[in-house]
Amino acid sequence: MTQAADVVVRRQIVVQAPIDKAFTAFTERFGDFKPPEHNLLGVPIAETVFDPQVGGHITDRGTDGSECRWATVRAYEPPTRIVFSWDISPQWQIETDPDNTSEVEVLFIAETSQRTRVELEHRNLDRHGDGWQSVRDGIADDAGWTLYLDRYAALLTAGS
Amino acid sequence: MASLAERPRAVGELADELPISRPAVSQHLKVLKEAGLVTDRAAGTRRVYRLSPEGLGALRDQLETFWNRALDGYQDIAEQPTEERP
């Protein structure tokens, strides 16, 4: 759990709700609190579905029927713990190589029968493409920085 | 540009691989450097360019914003009175 500060994001929040309700709200209503501008589909999201089992996905469904599975559940332990991979690259594209994904762990801790502390850790951010560090030789991954730079270069070309 | 993702390279190396002239490569690198996407260092008479690890900081900032907003919304939902009670 000890990682350099720049590869992990930690947040916690206390909610006035019993632990069971806090857990259920997180999994069943994820789509209701996910910031709407983070949408990888080209159309508005009709619903976001959290499939509550290991190996299940968090899936955005667009109003036109398109789907985007952007997370994979790695641990599902109601009502105390969830872990899912973050299958979204830094360029907000789907990352298909699990080795290049970060992961999110959410812990639910009952402070009282009516109050729950939720601790969220988004870690291993450096796994999003070895190109970040560009120190390993011989890696030519089309999905990471390469794509980013290609798109960036295209932008420059279009703008010049 | 993309070949920098493989390893740090000097301007000449990049120009050899790419279908553009060395001055054009330099011009692109200058733009990328100003955008914070690459850094350079002197190595003898050459300048070696590499992708900037600062990009990781930008990702982190994005995700911090994402989770701050998500957890605020989550708190509102988790604290809503239960709609249906048996």
Tell whether the model's pLDDT for residue B2 goes beyond 60.
no
H helices of chain A, in order, are 19-28, 30-33, 145-159
| One domain, residues B2 and B43 | yes
The domain that holds B12 is classified in CATH as 1.10.10.10
Number of domains chain B contains: 2
B3 versus B58: the higher-pLDDT residue is B58
Domain identity same for B64 and B85: yes
Clarify whether residues B24 and B64 are in a common domain.
no
> Could you list the residue range(s) of the whole structural domain that residue B1 is in?
1-51
Question: What ipTM, to 2 d.p.?
Answer: 0.71
| Region A140-158 average pLDDT | 40
Task: Evaluate if pTM is beyond 0.90.
Answer: no
pLDDT of residue B86: 47
Contact flag B67-A29 (C-beta cutoff 8 Å): no
B41 and B1 in a single domain? The answer is yes
Q: How far is CA A31 from the centre of its chain?
A: 13
CB-CB neighbors (< 8 A) of A152 in chain B: 1, 32, 35, 37
Q: Are residues B10 and B34 in the same domain?
A: yes
Could you say which of B2, B55, B77 has the minimum Cβ distance to residue A90? B55
Could you tell me if B80 and B45 lie in one domain? no
Q: What pLDDT does A134 receive?
A: 31
State how far residue B32 is from chain A, nearest Cα, in angstroms.
9
Residues A81-86 have a mean pLDDT of 96
Are residues B70 and B42 both part of a single domain?
no
pLDDT at position B35 is 57
Q: Which residue has the higher pLDDT, A91 or A33?
A: A33
Question: Per-residue pLDDT tens for A94-146?
Answer: 888 888 889 999 999 999 999 999 999 989 888 876 434 332 222 233 333 33
Peptide bond into A79 cis (omega under 30): yes
Q: What is the pLDDT of residue A71?
A: 94
Reported as a single tens digit per residue, the pLDDT across B22-81 is: 777 777 777 666 655 666 777 777 777 666 555 677 778 778 888 988 999 999 999 988
Q: How many helices (H) and strands (E) does chain A have?
A: 3, 7
Burial call A111-141: b when 16+ CB within 10 Å, e when fewer: eeeeebebebbbbbbbbbbbbbebeeeebee
Considering the domain architecture, whether residues B59 and B77 belong to the same structural domain is answered as yes
Q: Do residue B13 and residue B40 come from a single domain?
A: yes
Same domain, B32 and B64: no
Contacts of B1 in chain A (CB under 8 A): 149-150, 152-153
